[in-house]
Homo-oligomer: A and B are copies of this chain.
Amino acid sequence: MGKVVLKFGGTSVGDVAKIKATAEQAIREKEKGHEVVVVVSAMGKSTDHLVNLAEQINPKAPSREMDMLLSTGEQVTIALLAMAIEHEGHAAISYTGWQAGLVTEEIHGNARIQNILTTNVGKALDEGKIVVVAGFQGLSENGEITTLGRGGSDTTAVALAAALGAEKCSICTDVVGVYTSDPRYISEARKLAEIDYDEMLELANLGAGVLHPRAVEYAKNFNIPLEVRGAHVVEVGTMIKEGNLLETKQVVRGVAFDDKIARIRVSFKSVDKMNVACIFTKLAEEHVNVDIIVQSIGEEAGPSAVSFSLKEADLEEALRVLEQNKAAIGYHDLVTESGLAKVSIVGSGMVSNPGVAAQMFTVLRNAGISVRMISTSEIKVSVVVPEVKMLEAAEVCHQTFDV
C-alpha cells in the first residue's frame, strides 16, 4: 500500500487525551500497511494565548516576529504527538516546517509554498517511521520562519501529499464529512460519499466551512484525492476527487446558504456618466469584499444601475467609501437593503442540464420567495433572498433536486 497524509486541526489535538486519540488514528493507518505522515496544527487555544501575549507587548508587532512566535504552537504539538505514538510502541519522528522541507515565499503571515524538499520525510518513511509534521509553517530561502495564513495546515497536508506522491490526503476534522447541506438546519441533508474538486471549491467558497478553498485548489492542481472525515471516529468520510464520480446522475450535489447579506444599488442618470470600475476599485482599496455584482442598463431598473451584494458587517464602510468617491464614480443615488441571505445550488451535472436555473427560480416563486439577485456559473446558481426565507429556500431546493 502507498503513502497517506492525515491532517488534524487545533481542536482535534486540543488536549492530552485528544493527542493520544490522534496517535491511535495514525497507528491504525500504519497497521493497515500505509506509510503515514501526520500534519498537525497548534493545540486548541494555544495560538490565542500567544497572540494575547504579543498584543500586550506590541500591538503592532512585526509580522516576522509573529511568525517566530506562532510557529512554536505546532512545534509543541508535533513533539507531543511523536511522543504519544512512541508510547504505543511505534517508531515516530517529528519535523518542523523547515525540517520537512517546506520552502515558501518570504511573506510573513501569509506565505505560499514554493517547493517541498522531501529528503527528511522520505528517509523517515523508508525507515518505517510515522512522520509528524508541523502544519501552517515553512522556511524562506533566506532561512526565515514563515507561516502560511488561513487554511495553512490543510494546505501543508495537501502539498506534502502531492510532493510525496501520496495516494490520499485525509483532513480529519470536527465534522464527519461533506454534507449536501447544513444538517443542523436542513432535515434531509446527508453526508456525500464523493464530490468533485470544482463542486467542493464552490461549496468551500460558499461558506460550507469544512475545508479551506486554497487546500482544495492545491489538491485539484495536483490531482490528490482528498478525504474529509471525523478526527476521532472510524466512520468513512467524503472523498473529493476529479470528476466522473459514481453519483453522476445527480445534477445538484449540494445546497449552501449564507446569512447576513446586504445589497447596494448604485444608480446613474445616464450610461455616459457611469464609472462602474471606479466603484469596485475604491472598495477593493479599502478591503471591502464584494460578492455578486449585477449590472442593468436601460429602462427596467431605472435609467441605469449596478447592484452588488456584500456582508452586512461591511455595509457601513462600503457606504462611506462610495460617498467619499461620489464625484469620481458619478452616481446619482444609492439604495441599500439588508436582512438578506444567499442560497446556492452546486453540481457539476448542471453543465449538461441547462434547465436547472429556471427550475430553481420556479420552485422559489411557487414558494412565494422573492429573489433579489441572481448569479450563475457553470456549476452553480446563487440567489439572494430575504434572510427570513433562507432556510425555506434551501429546504425547497434540497427537495426539488433530490440532492
Which residues of A are interface residues toward B (Cβ below 8 A)? 16, 19-20, 50, 53-54, 56-58, 60-62, 64-66, 68-69, 71-72, 75-76, 78-80, 82-84, 86-87, 93-94, 96, 99, 120, 143, 145
Contacts and interface: CB of A to CB of B under 8 A. Distances in A.
Contacts of A60: 87
A86 B68 contact: no
A82 B94 contact: no
A106 to B, nearest CB: 14
24 contacts: A16-B56, A16-B57, A19-B57, A20-B57, A53-B80, A54-B83, A57-B80, A57-B83, A57-B84, A58-B84, A58-B86, A62-B83, A65-B82, A65-B83, A68-B78, A68-B79, A68-B94, A69-B76, A71-B75, A72-B76, A72-B79, A75-B75, A99-B143, A120-B143
Main secondary structure of the interface of A (DSSP, over half): helix
A80 B69 contact: yes
A69 B82 CA distance: 10
A54 B80 CA distance: 6
Tell me how many chains of this kind the complex includes: 2
A143 B120 CA distance: 10
Instruction: Identify the interface centre among A66, A84, A120: most chain B CB within 10 Å of its CB.
Output: A84
A79 B69 contact: yes
A20 to B, nearest CB: 7
Contact of A53 (B16, B53, B72, B145): B16
B61 A76 contact: no
B87 A65 contact: no
Given A57-B80, A72-B75, 17 more contacts: A16-B53, A20-B57, A54-B79, A54-B83, A57-B83, A57-B87, A58-B83, A60-B87, A61-B87, A65-B82, A66-B79, A68-B75, A68-B78, A68-B82, A69-B76, A72-B79, A75-B75
